[in-house]
Every structure is written in structure tokens, then in C-alpha cells.
Amino acid sequence: MNYRAAVFHDTEHITIQTKEVRKPGPKEVLIRVRACGVCGTDLHLYHGAPGSASATPPVVLGHEFAGEVTETGSDVTDLRSGDQVTVDPNLACGDCWYCRNGERNLCSNLTAIGVNFDGGFAEYCLVPFSQVYRFDRPVSHHHAAMAEPLACCLHGIDRVALKQGQTVAVVGCGAIGLIMVQLAFLGGASRVYASDPVAKRRDLAEQLGAVPVDPGRQELPTVIRRDIPEGVDSAVECAGNPAAMLQAFQSVRRGGTVLLFSVPEADAVLNVPVYDIYFRELRILGSFTNPATQGRAVDLVSSGRIQLEQLISHQLPLESIKDAFRLFGKPDAIKIVVAL
């Protein structure tokens, strides 16, 4: 049986090709992909920028995908044909110092489906059983595909260790920022400020309960300090530019937490007064991928307690993958999903 796949060959060179479906090995699962989200990492790889990963072309990109199981290997007993599933794309080696010490996302030999192995911008994808997560009740495939970015956000929010009743600022309200707003509220935040220069994104953040801030008109730290003179307990930066990162630093109170969540340009440098970190005793955190959070993300999507529909701004067919990539980052684009 043949299927269509968007194959990445080289910088800005992707073609739709016909490939032949391979039979699953004993521990593999064949998935009929129905939806695959476009992530900043796909764009980094497509444009040949050093981002969070380096690809092994020719390869099918796309690591935020969901679909149905169509065939399972002989050793796979927990899944059957027709099961609705999504995939944790990150493959830790299991042998290195980090894997042996329980920090699999920091694995020295980390590879990923959709980066080093064929991913979800294709009608079919063959994946190791260890990476597959089943939804126990039916959800939209588009929502299911968002379990992966949600899992990454869960790790970030875990790192912040928010306490109920605390206040949060989310800087940047793309799909990730709008998920972070929701996770902050689910985690018990009493107030969430959400800043973005794009009106549509601010409107969505406001619908989700956040106080919207237009950084083109008002400085986020100024708006926050009108309400809370000390500043917020935590700031979550999801914008990817140093100016936004600086706003996050300036928004938190003494002893506050700054989570730098976005994938910045590889050569981006942040000009933060070091004395400020010392004197205000700031906690500065990074967050990398989704260690052991995919299952919780799947359960959250299943629960319906996280709003995903409003976040999906564009659905495109596989043939339009280059358009999907071109749309990424545009003001009216939030989450772009390739429907298969």
C-alpha cells in the first residue's frame, strides 16, 4: 500500500512523495495520521536554522500528530486497530548518564520522530509502541495532535511550581501562550496577565480569563504594578524575542520565577542586569520538551478541560504544507494544523 508524505530534503526543499507502507516490526505501531500541527521546530528545520533539534534528511517532518492505529507488531498487546492515539516524538537512548539518572529529556543521544525519523506530515507513520498514547474517549484529531505541545507546556508549568492563588504573567499569546494561560488557571492562578501585540491573540487570552495587555500601548510590568505593586509571582515567556524576555524579568516580584519557554534564535543574547537576579533573588528556568508529561496531556485533552478549538486558526491539506509553513508566525495564525 502506498501513501503520501511531505519529505524534507534540504533547506527549504520539501516535496510530496509517494512512499510504501512498511509492516510494523514486533514493537512497532502503524498509525493512519489524521492531523499534524506545525511547530516552530519544523520551521527551524525547514529554514536550516539551528533550533531545538537537527534533522536527518531525507525525512518526513512533523512531531505533533494524532490518528488511528491501523496495524500493530506482534509484541504489542495494549493497542488495537482503530484506537485513537497520539505520539510522544522524543526518543531517549536509555543508556546515557541523564537517562540513567531520570532526566530523559536531557538525554545525550536524544532523537525524535519527525526530526530524525519519519514523522506526521504523511498519511501513515510507523512508530515504536513505547511512544504511543491512547485516548480513552473520542476527541477531535486536531485536538489530539495538540497533546504534544500541551505536554511540553505541562513540563514548563511543572517547573514553575505555581501555588494556588498566585499571579502569573504570560508574555506572548500564540498557541503556546494561550495554553500556558489555561494551565496557569488550572494550576490555581488567581490572576493571569497576557501580553501580545496582536489583537486577536489578546482577545483569545481575555476569553480564557486573562487580563489582556497590548505591549504596543502599555508596558506589561507597568500594567501589572498598577494592580500588584510587588509584581507577579511568575512570568512565562512564550514570545521568542529578547524584548519579551526582558518584560518577563521586569514583571515578577522579588523572589519571583521567570520561565523562558520559547525556542529563541540560537545566537540570541539576553541583556539582563545580573545584579537584578542577585538582589531580587530571581529563579530563572528553562524548559526542554516533555519528560513523562505526554500521558497527562492526553488525559487533559480527553477531559475537555483545556480549550483547544479556538487555538486552531488554520487547517490545510498536505499539498499545502509550504503554505502552512509560510503562515507560521503571521499575526492571524495561531495553531496551524495539517489535516490528513
Q: In the range 226-285, which residues lie near Zn ion by CB under 5 A?
A: none
Tell me the closest approach of the beta carbon of residue 152 to Zn ion, in angstroms. 7
CB of 64 to Zn ion, least distance (A): 5
Should residue 43 be labelled a site residue for Zn ion when binding is judged by CB under 5 A? no
Q: With CB under 5 A as the contact rule, which of the stretches 15-23, 31-39, 176-184, 313-321 interacts with Zn ion?
A: 31-39
Which triple of cell numbers denotes residue 298?
492526553
Binding mask 74-103 for Zn ion (x = CB under 5 A): ------------------xx--x--x----
Q: Taking CB under 5 A as the rule, does residue 210 contact Zn ion?
A: no
Task: Identify which of residues 105 and 251 has a Cβ nearer to Zn ion in the complex.
Answer: 105
To the nearest whole angstrom, how small is the minimum distance from the Cβ of residue 73 to Zn ion? Answer: 23
> To the nearest whole angstrom, how small is the minimum distance from the Cβ of residue 34 to Zn ion?
18
Q: Which of 46, 193, 67, 228 is nearest to 133 (CA)?
A: 67
Q: Does 45 bind Zn ion (CB under 5 A)?
A: no
Residue with cell 499545502: 320
Q: Smallest Cα–Cα separation from 167: which of 182, 186, 185, 152?
A: 185
Q: Nearer to Zn ion by C-beta: 93 or 211? A: 93
DSSP string, 167-191: EEEEE--SHHHHHHHHHHHHTT-SE
Tell me if 39 contacts Zn ion by CB under 5 A. Answer: yes
Whether omega before 58 lies within 30 degrees of 0, making that bond cis, reads yes
Provide, rounded to whole angstroms, the least separation between the CB of residue 37 and Zn ion: 7
Q: Compare residues 37 and 187 and give the one whose CB is closer to Zn ion.
A: 37
Do residues 159 and 259 touch, judged by C-beta distance below 8 A?
Answer: yes
Q: Pairing mode, if any, of strands 283-285 and 84-87?
A: unpaired
Yes or no: say if 170 and 194 are a contact pair by the CB < 8 Å rule.
yes
Pairing between β-strand 283-285 and β-strand 312-317 as defined by DSSP bridges:
unpaired
Residues at the site binding Zn ion, with contacts judged by CB under 5 A: 39, 41, 92-93, 96, 99, 107
